[in-house]
C-alpha cells in the first residue's frame, strides 16, 4: 500500500496545485482580490514548487524510499516529472498578465 502512495502522490500533488493556483487566479480576477493578486499567485506557485522539491528529496531519503528498486525508480521518476510539470504548467500564471 505504501508503494502505491509513493508512486501516486507526486502527480496527485501536481494536480491539486494546478487546480488551486488556477482557482486562485479566478479569485484574483474578481474586484475584491485585485490588489494582492500577483503576490498571492507568485506565493502559491513558489509553494507548489517547494512542495514538489521536498517530496522529491523525501523519496530519495532512506526513511521514505521503497525497499523495491523498481518502485523507488518509478517514484523518483514521477516525482521529477511532477516537479517539471508544476514549474511549467504554473509558469504562465506567474509571469503573464492577469484578467484580460
Dig out the grid coordinates for 96 from the structure: 503573464
Three-class secondary structure assignment of 9-77: HHHHHHHHHHHHHHHHHHHHCCCCCCCCHHHHHHHHHHHHHHHHHHHHHHHHCCCCCCCCHHHHHHHHH
Q: Is residue 23 part of a domain?
A: yes
Report if residue 54 sits inside a domain.
yes
pLDDT at 98 over 90: no
Is the pLDDT reported for residue 35 higher than 70?
A: no
pLDDT for 17: 93
| pTM for this model (two decimals) | 0.84
- How many domains is the chain built from? 1
Which tens digit of pLDDT belongs to each residue from 48-80? 999 999 999 998 888 877 788 898 899 999 999
Which residues span the domain enclosing 69? 2-95
100 found inside a domain: no
Residue 56 lies in a domain: yes
In a domain, 84, yes or no: yes
Amino acid at each position: 500500500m505504501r508503494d502505491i502512495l509513493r508512486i501516486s502522490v507526486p502527480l496527485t500533488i501536481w494536480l491539486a496545485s494546478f487546480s488551486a493556483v488556477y482557482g486562485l487566479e479566478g479569485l484574483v480576477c474578481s474586484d475584491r482580490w485585485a490588489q494582492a493578486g500577483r503576490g498571492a499567485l507568485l506565493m502559491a506557485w513558489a509553494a507548489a514548487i517547494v512542495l514538489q522539491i521536498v517530496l522529491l528529496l523525501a523519496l530519495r531519503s532512506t526513511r521514505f524510499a521503497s525497499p523495491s528498486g523498481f518502485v523507488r525508480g518509478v517514484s523518483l521518476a514521477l516525482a521529477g516529472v511532477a516537479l517539471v510539470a508544476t514549474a511549467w504548467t504554473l509558469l504562465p500564471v506567474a509571469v503573464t498578465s492577469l484578467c484580460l
